[in-house]
């Protein structure tokens, strides 16, 4: 696997045009697929093996940029970073971590919109591996069943904990909720800030990025979209 990666990098590094195109793609936050791009052998290594390999390679990175790896403050950093990536920040890559959403019968016959807003979004930009943080607002109309509110948060968290592009994250959350709830009547709205915009490149600390996905009645009925946007207190003009 490592030889294959080195071969790909070697071929890419010989092409200056490729580097320029990749820089532009990253700055434009372009994504190539709705599905998270994973190799077929992505889960052959267990977590401990992944941590060990990442620890070694991150130590090499720190050494290359000139840090003293014998310093008490730094010598444990490669392990801490490796564990953080595998067990925390990118835990949403593992299918077994996907939340099991339990549905309940809508015994009250509630047919109006249910909105959960200000759901925490903490993700990682896949172009620069810097944080994305913000809020998600979600609505759905029951087709006969309802989902526990905390499970909506868990679904957002699961798809956030992986290298992401905000557009893909929005779509993945919406599609998962449609599947779980057995309805197309789902709306997802994410307002987030990107550290790859704030801390590098243009270094704009004031801007945020908004993405949305409207399905079913939210896509077809402008008044229903307006009701949703009004509920999350967004400017409708």
pLDDT in tens, 106-152: 998 999 999 999 999 999 999 999 999 999 999 999 999 999 999 99
* pLDDT value of residue 188: 98
pLDDT of residue 102: 87
Please check whether residues 119 and 64 belong to one and the same domain. Answer: no
Known active-site residue 219? no
For residue 206, what is the DSSP state? S
Catalytic residue among 137, 164, 176, 196: 196
Q: Is 137 a catalytic residue?
A: no
Domain boundary among 97, 127, 142: 97
**What is the Cα–Cα distance from 170 to 164, expressed in whole angstroms?**
10
Total tally of structural domains belonging to the chain: 2
Asked whether residue 222 falls in the same domain as residue 124, the answer is yes
Please tell me which residue in 127, 164, 172, 176 is annotated as part of the active site: 127
Q: Do 84 and 132 sit in the same domain of this protein?
A: no
Would 43 be classed as within a structural domain?
yes
- Let me know whether 138 and 223 are in one domain: yes
Whether 77 and 132 map to the same domain: the answer is: no
In a domain? residue 168: yes
Is 152 part of a structural domain of the chain? Answer: yes
Which one has a higher pLDDT value, 13 or 168? 168
Q: Are residues 107 and 91 in the same domain?
A: no
Q: Among the options 55, 125, 157, 164, which is catalytic?
A: 125
Any domain includes 198: yes
Together in a domain, 73 and 149: no
| Residue 192 forms part of a structural domain | yes
- Give the pLDDT score at 206: 93
- Do the domain assignments include residue 236? no
Judge whether 196 counts as a catalytic residue. yes
**Are 120 and 218 contained in the same domain?**
yes
What is the pLDDT confidence band of residue 218, given thresholds at 50, 70 and 90? very high
Are 125 and 81 found together in one domain?
A: no
- What is the structure's pLDDT at 236? 45
Q: What is the pLDDT of residue 3?
A: 58
Share of the chain above pLDDT 90, in %: 80
State which of 97, 130, 152 marks the end of a domain. Answer: 97
- pLDDT tens for residues 147-190? 999 999 999 999 999 999 999 999 999 999 999 999 999 999 99
Q: Which residue has the higher pLDDT, 11 or 80?
A: 80
Instruction: Please say if 29 is a catalytic residue.
Output: no
What is the predicted pLDDT for the residue at 33? 74
Which of these is catalytic: 29, 137, 166, 172?
Answer: 166
Tokens 């490149």 map to which residue?
A: 201
Residue in 128, 137, 172, 176 annotated catalytic: 128
> Residues 67-78: pLDDT tens digits?
999 999 999 999
pLDDT at 50 over 60: yes
Three-point CA angle 223, 229, 232, nearest 5°: 145
Task: Name the phi and psi angles at 136, rounded to 5.
Answer: -115, 145
d(CA 120, CA 107): 29
Query: Quick one: pLDDT at residue 101?
Result: 87
User: Which of the listed residues 74, 97, 120 is the one where a domain comes to its end?
Assistant: 97
pLDDT, greater one: 101 or 219: 219
Write the CATH number for 60.
Answer: 1.10.286.10
C-alpha closest to that of 219 among 160, 167, 178: 178
Residue 128: active-site member: yes
Do 151 and 199 lie in a common domain? yes
**φ and ψ at residue 64, rounded to 5 degrees:** -65, -35
Q: Which domain holds residue 53?
A: 2-97
């Amino acid at each position: 696997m490592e030889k294959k990666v080195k071969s790909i990098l070697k071929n890419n590094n010989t092409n200056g045009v490729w580097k320029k195109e990749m820089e532009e793609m990253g700055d434009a936050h372009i994504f190539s697929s709705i599905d998270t791009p994973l190799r077929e052998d992505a889960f052959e290594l267990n977590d401990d093996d992944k941590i060990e390999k990442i620890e070694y390679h991150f130590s090499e990175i720190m050494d290359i940029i000139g840090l003293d790896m014998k310093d008490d403050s730094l010598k444990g950093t490669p392990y801490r970073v490796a564990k953080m990536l595998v067990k925390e920040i990118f835990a949403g890559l593992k299918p077994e971590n996907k939340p099991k959403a339990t549905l309940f019968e809508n015994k009250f016959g509630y047919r109006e919109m249910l909105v959960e807003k200000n759901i925490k979004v903490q993700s990682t930009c896949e172009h620069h591996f810097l944080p994305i943080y913000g809020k998600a607002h979600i609505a759905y109309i029951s087709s006969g069943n309802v989902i526990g509110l905390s499970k909506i948060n868990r679904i957002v968290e699961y798809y956030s904990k992986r290298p992401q592009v905000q557009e893909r994250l929005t779509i993945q959350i919406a599609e998962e909720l449609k599947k779980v709830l057995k309805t197309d009547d789902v709306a997802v709205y994410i307002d987030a800030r990107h550290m790859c915009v704030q801390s590098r490149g243009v270094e704009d600390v004031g801007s945020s990025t908004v993405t949305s996905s409207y399905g079913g009645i939210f896509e077809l009925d402008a008044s229903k979209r307006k009701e949703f946007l009004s509920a999350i207190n967004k400017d409708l003009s």
